[in-house]
Chain A
Amino acid sequence: MDRTIFIADDELDFVSTLRSRLEFEGYGVTTAADGKDALQRIIHEKPDLILLDIMMPTMNGYQVCRELKGNAETSSIPILMLTAKSQESDKFWGKEAGADDYLTKPFDMDELMEKIGGLLDE
């Protein structure tokens, strides 16, 4: 069965190219464009991996992350935080909130694919 990746990001162009690539690589892809929606659907869908943007409407990435990691049903799903900033503190807070890894935008698509592969293999 194909593994599913959930993309929570409000930048639609980015989501679109990412979806194309991931589907090409053989993943199932679901997306959400705001924090609350993403949280509800992830709990419901239980994807194999989550790509979580920090800057989102209604609920930010950290909050979504903390909720998911605090929830026994979803706490084991690996989360890859996507941040537009390169500040140490952002990375820190991502980790503190329970994220498994992070990637700074703009990133190289190939690098992202590598990280996804790595997280799913663990």
Chain B
Amino acid sequence: MTEKDHQKPIRVLLIEDNKGDARLIREMLAEVGGPAAFQLDWVERLSTGIERLTDGGIDVVLLDLALPDSGAEDTFTKISGAAGNVPIVVLTLLEDDDKAVKAMQGGAQDYLVKAELDGNFLKHSIRYAIERGRLKVQLEFLNSALQQRMEDLRTTTVSKAYVDNIIESMAETLVVISPDGVIQRVNRAVLNLLGYERSELIGQSGGIVFEDGADVFFLEADRRERRNFFKRMGLNDMIRSVETNLVAKDGTRVPVMLSGSVMRDESGAMQGIVAVAQDMSQQRLAEQQLKKVDESLEAEIHQRRSVATELEVTKANFSSIVEKTRDGILIVDKEGVVLYANPAAAALFGREEEELVGQLFGFPLTAGETTELDIIRLDDEKCVAEMRMDDTEWRGEDAYLATLRDVTERKRLFAEAKRTNEKLRQANQIKDDFIANVSHELRTPLATISNVLANALAGVWGVLSDEARSELRTGHTNAKRLASMVNNLLDMSTIQAGRVSLEKSQVDMPALIRSVIESAKAKAKEKGVALVTSHDPDLGLVFCDPMKIVRVLTNLVGNALKFTGEGGTISIAIQNGREEAQISVSDTGRGIAKENQERIFERFQQVDRTDVGGEKGTGLGLAIAKDLVELHGGTISVQSELGKGSTFSFTLPVYSLGAMLREAVHAEFKRCGQGNHLSLIILTFKQAEFEAMKEGGGVERWKQMLEDVETKIRHVVRRNMQDAVIQYGNGRMILFLRDTPKTGATSVRQRVVSALAPYEERCPFLVTAISCPEDAEDPDALVAAVDNLVEELATNG
């Protein structure tokens, strides 16, 4: 027993329903320890005991297991939770021994059999129970401390592997460098980022991976420098977030954010440096992209802002524009009521804007149409407006937008222009008629003058002195020149008036040129100029108006003669192209300056006409030639070099058979007038015999026969009092008969057939008649009918 025990009595909680047992235990405790040693709390029920325990201060519990509110089996279990570390001594009857043992196993300190109770024994049991409880608490504390220690120990051991794991799997690169600057450790991120194997880095100088600027980490570098660096960073042993580059195995620089710290031992000696770097290349990329996005966003914002500004301006200006435009603008709803009118519209109708709004518009409303309105205004003035209707929307409702333009003035001007035009046309007509009449009237007296002079020169009235002869010759030359001028004027006026119609036929071009040369021979001989001609040997026929082309050639050859001196040459050449034939007249004359070449085809243009023979032209020859060539659908041009000569070339279209026939038919229709009957008699020569005859008898014999046939036909047709035009196509001759009823054409055909009987032996042919309007309704249909017929004949014959 210690001093402590005396100072404070042991508080005993007795839970016992048997009052006699309870009194006995009290007396026993008083007897062995005195009243001061034990303080006894006695309760009869378990629940009351638990309450008392919860209040605290109890040193030991004496517990009867069999209680009124708890069976012997459960009592200990129920109280032990509330007791905590308060030791429990179980009181039991002898026969309940096994239950007491169970309680002991559950944590009770001791058990006492009631029958054997004794004061000292009880006292010792209580003391032991208390002491054992105290030891148990202490042991539990030690155990828990031990457990904690063990747990600590375990955590520490696990941490090493754990940290290693983290280091290896972290995204940042980690490099540990020894004080002598050698790489001691690297993590997997370093290998991934820089492309090294671990073995290639460990033990190597840190300079392999750190860029020059970062060599402060390597202790092989000057220590002072390193210290200075840290100082500069103001970080002592640690630097943070330096932007630098790591060097990859392949030499590329990888941008990183680098942090480093110096490791020291307890004595403060440097152990090494840990450098952790974050790969910034993705971030850089992202930054760049972000920058781009930023820029485009910026641009878009800027644009939107300017659009918005513009819209604002537009909106502000819009009403002003509508108000000020000179075109009338009206909005009319679907029922035809005017919803809006601008000032121009009001002015057009001669009313106020307010007067118009709400009124029925009164004009037809069809969107997409332009109509003309005759407006009689309130002030009785008439005006004409051109109105365009369009669909639109007005305050959310479908409506019409009518745009009106005052065309009164335009109309008036147009009518005036039309009248002026008509006047001009009449004046022009009068002028043309005048020129035609005057020219015609001039021709006869001029011819007379010319003839009289020719007679005098011929010596009709006696022999002339040399002087008289010379003077008269001048007179004669000028009279002839005047006559040709008048002729040209007359031709020009008829061409200009469009009164020239071409009478095209298949023309033997070489023959035509021969005739032109024939008539120019005398003049050429007189001047000492050679006339030569050349043409493609296989030159076909050209479809043209022979007289007009003779005129063109006569003009060109005449010009060449004028400007070519003695010893010169004039050559006429024909070349056959696929689509056109080209006829050229070349001379070795003086040539035409480049700047004048364009002008020479204009009327009354005489360029530098102090010509070789002192002759003068009318200035119309080339203009007429140009007009005539162009009437044929051809072109005329000149190539010339001063001092070397000139070449005038013109083209004539080479027609396909169909095109030729079409043109001939249309020309005939035009000539016989609308509504007239047109009959065609088609003479088709059988191809085989046609070719044989051409080869056997030669082209000349063939031509002769054609001429005979033609004359015969003309006689037959003539006797029938018909006008006829003959055209040739390959292997066929086509007669156009005007104003002939179909029956008439048929009878003409019969007569043609019998008249040609003698020729049929030499060259067989077929004669067919076709007419419009019976066989065809219009010129084109007639052409088609003829084409069909010819094809039929070709396959049958």
Contacts and interface: CB of A to CB of B under 8 A. Distances in A.
Contacts of A25: 458
A44 to B, nearest CB: 28
Given A20-B455, A109-B454, A14 B547 contact: no
Given A24-B459, A106-B483, A96 B451 contact: no
B692 interface: no
B444 interface: yes
Given A14-B448, A96-B714, A109 B455 contact: yes
B415 interface: no
Interface string B689-731: 0000000000000000000000100110010000000000000
A25 to B, nearest CB: 8
B452 interface: yes
A110 B444 contact: no
Interface string B450-490: 11101100111100000000000000000010010000000
B503 interface: yes
Interface string B356-398: 0000000000000000000000000000000000000000000
B458 A14 contact: no
A17 B718 contact: no
Interface centre among A17, A84, A106, A108 (most CB of B within 10 A): A106
A33 interface: no
B52 interface: no
A73 B702 CA distance: 34
A3 interface: no
A105 to B, nearest CB: 6
Nearest to B718: A96
A46 interface: no
Contacts of B448: 13-14, 17
A89 interface: yes
B785 interface: no
A110 B443 CA distance: 18
Contacts of B424: none
Contact of B452 (A17, A89, A96, A107): A17
B547 A17 contact: no
A112 to B, nearest CB: 9
A11 interface: yes
B503 A88 contact: yes
Interface in A72-120: 84, 86-89, 96, 105-110
Nearest to B455: A21
B451 A21 contact: yes
A106 B486 CA distance: 11
A110 B546 contact: no
A29 interface: no
B67 interface: no
A26 B349 CA distance: 92
A13 to B, nearest CB: 5
Given A21-B455, A88-B547, A105 B460 contact: no
B451 A24 contact: no
Contacts of A107: 447
Given A14-B444, A106-B443, A89 B451 contact: no
A86 B494 CA distance: 13
A35 B729 CA distance: 40
A18 interface: yes
A87 B725 CA distance: 14
B263 interface: no
Contacts of B480: 108
Interface in B394-444: 443-444
Nearest to B505: A88
A24 B483 contact: no
A96 B718 CA distance: 9
Contact of B451 (A14, A86, A87): A14
B580 to A, nearest CB: 23
B167 interface: no
A20 to B, nearest CB: 5
A14 B447 contact: yes
Contacts of B450: 106, 108-109
Nearest to A16: B448
Given A106-B483, A108-B480, A18 B503 contact: no
A110 B455 CA distance: 9
Interface string B541-567: 000011100000000000000000000
B446 interface: yes
Contacts of B714: 96
Nearest to A13: B448
A20 B460 CA distance: 7
Contact of A21 (B458, B483, B503, B546): B458
Given A14-B444, A24-B460, A88-B547, A110 B503 contact: no
Contacts of A18: 451
B455 A88 contact: no
A21 B454 contact: yes
Nearest to B714: A96
Contacts of B451: 14, 17-18, 21, 109
A107 B484 CA distance: 10
B347 to A, nearest CB: 64
Q: Which of A24, A84, A89, A109 is most buried by chain B, counting CB atoms within 10 A of its CB?
A: A109
A103 to B, nearest CB: 12
Contacts of A14: 444, 447-448, 451
A56 to B, nearest CB: 15
Nearest to B519: A111
The winner among A18, A25, A88 for most chain B CB atoms within 10 A is A88
A14 B444 CA distance: 8
A14 B17 CA distance: 187
Contact of A87 (B445, B458, B547, B711): B547
A110 B480 CA distance: 13
Interface string B283-319: 0000000000000000000000000000000000000
Given A86-B547, A108-B480, A109-B458, A11 B444 contact: yes
Contacts of B458: 21, 24-25, 109-110
A88 B545 CA distance: 9
Contacts of B545: 88
Contacts of B547: 86-88
A18 B451 CA distance: 8
A86 B458 CA distance: 27
Interface of B: 443-448, 450-452, 454-455, 458-461, 480, 483, 503, 545-547, 711, 714-715, 718
25 contacts: A13-B448, A14-B444, A14-B448, A17-B448, A17-B452, A20-B460, A20-B461, A21-B454, A21-B455, A21-B460, A24-B459, A25-B458, A88-B503, A88-B545, A88-B546, A96-B711, A96-B714, A106-B447, A107-B447, A108-B450, A108-B480, A109-B455, A109-B458, A110-B454, A110-B458
Closest 6 A/B residue pairs (Cβ): A106-B447, A109-B454, A24-B460, A17-B451, A13-B448, A21-B455
Interface of A: 11, 13-14, 17-18, 20-21, 24-25, 84, 86-89, 96, 105-110
Given A20-B460, A21-B455, A87-B503, 17 more contacts: A13-B445, A17-B451, A17-B452, A18-B451, A20-B461, A84-B443, A86-B547, A88-B503, A89-B503, A96-B711, A96-B715, A105-B443, A109-B451, A109-B454, A109-B455, A109-B458, A110-B458
